[in-house]
Amino acid sequence: MFNKKKIFSKILLAVLIIALIATNSIIGTKGSTKIFKSTVAEAAEEKVPKYVFYFIGDGLGAAQRQIAEYFLQEKTKDKSAKLLINQLPIAGINTTYSANSLITDSAAAGTALATGHKTNNGMISKLPDGTNVKTLIEAAEEKGMATGIATTTRLTHATPAVFASHNESRSNENEIAVDFLNSNVEFFAGGGARHFLPQGWIDKMPSMNGSKRKDNRNLMREFANRGYKVFYGEEQSNRFRRYSPKGQEKVFAAFTLSHLPYEIDRIHKTSNQVPSLAEITKKGIEVLSKYPNGFFFMIEGGRIDHACHANDAVGAIYDVLAFDDAVKEAYKFYKEHPDETLIVVVGDHETGGMGLGFAKNYYLKLNELLDVKASVGDVLTKKYDGNREAYFKYIAENFGLDNLTEKEKAEIIKAMDLADNKAKYDISEYGPSYYGPVAIATTHIISERANIEWTTFAHSGTSIPMSAVGVGAEKFTGFKDNTEIAKTLANIMGFELSK
């Protein structure tokens, strides 16, 4: 008679032995961390995006992102209106300090975002000891990808410079321009033509009369000789808009001698209106998507920073909205190529120490900002020439200040007295001399009416938000340093950056 219990025990033991053997074959030897993964899982983990958009908002802190969204809701009367950058599914927060300061400048912050390395303020993709460090754009070129750099600043300004140049000082913009010529980047668009034109340059186009070069090199012509389609000057803006690449073409476009206009000024100009950052981004996509191995495209909203340096709330808001519109162009492309595209949106630092609320007040009055029609930095700083009546009329018509209180008017008159007498003044109150006390007194009145406050005319050391969507986006979550953004991008793309 069979012993059923013994037979069952032997069967159970055999099953356990087989299971143990199978487990060992999966786990491996003792101490090994190797685990079994399906082919599908491995393929998903190793997936590399073919198209990468790297958006950098210069000076784009949390306050700037939020105030622009609140303003959009106020302007459209739609309380559900959102910025796209605030809706991307992956979010994180980044520290921004440089190698020699807890408050970074754009060169050091840009170097961190472009190379994964800290450096001293003012240095362009070099370590503090002067060693060059490889950038993400250079790594992409090595991989055979097409690359692009677009900005609303001069192309040779700190943030775009760190991606395709190496220099001990961000001030050496003429040298940076030459580095660009030798970079092999397929698409350049922004401002800063003055660093690409020979000294003493006189042009038939009024917008292009002038140069900052100290030699006779015409880098525009040299770009053309290397096969680039060259667009320069405000007068060629529509030619750029009409341009459609037929194949694998290269583009160099510089629409202004210095920076592109603030968005608030751009939209109010009726003639020779230069392309918006969104238009530039769209054109960059048209050019770079013709290349078979994909692309890496860095787009900077650079004048958010400039507006905040001038404590210009409305100027900053409009440039954030323009930046968001540029991200929307990339997002349209992402929707067409969701399994091949990565979009990363970061800021390099916060500027101005913008505070949403001050004193004992529990409100923001963004309706106070709706009637502003011009920037502080490029327009208002040039409006006071000693004619007080004309100035008060101008700010009434263009800055919504047609109902100044006695206290507000007294603050502006005090600043006028300082300007008229060329008197020394407290820069902690009125900022650097190139703004002028009258413009700063005026912009502070606008901010105070809206209940916005500023702590500085420089950068602050606060951590800033980032957001992302697409292939590998989930790797950007959490509290990270800015160097980790570049390293994570390199890891996703299989790039080799400098150790």
Q: Which residues are catalytic?
A: 106
- Residue 284: CA count within 13 A, CB half-sphere: 35
300 is in an annotated binding site: yes
| Cβ burial, residue 81 (10 Å; 0-12/13-18/19+) | middle
215 is in an annotated binding site: no
195 is in an annotated binding site: no
Residue in the block written with tokens 């100009």: 269
Distance between start and end Cα atoms, the chain: 74
Largest CA distance in the chain: 120
Contact present, 297 and 52 (Cβ < 8 Å): yes
58 is in an annotated binding site: yes
Beta 355-356 vs 90-95: how paired, if at all? Answer: unpaired
157 is in an annotated binding site: yes
153 is in an annotated binding site: no
Q: Is the dihedral of CA 482, 483, 486, 492 positive or negative?
A: negative
**Amino acid identity, position 337:** H
Q: Which two tokens stand for residue 360?
A: 């004992």
Q: Is the dihedral of CA 81, 82, 83, 89 positive or negative?
A: negative
Tell me how far apart the alpha carbons of residues 190 and 150 are, in angstroms, rounded to a whole number: 6
Q: Which two tokens stand for residue 285?
A: 């996509």
175 is in an annotated binding site: no
Residue in the block written with tokens 């916005």: 452
Which helix (H) or strand (E) is 409 found in, with range?
helix 406-420
Contact present, 173 and 272 (Cβ < 8 Å): no
Angle at 496 between CA 150 and CA 92, to 5 degrees: 60
349 is in an annotated binding site: yes
Annotated binding site for Zn(2+): 58, 305, 309, 348-349, 459
Annotated binding site: 58, 157, 159, 300, 305, 309, 348-349, 459
Annotated binding site for Mg(2+): 58, 157, 159, 300
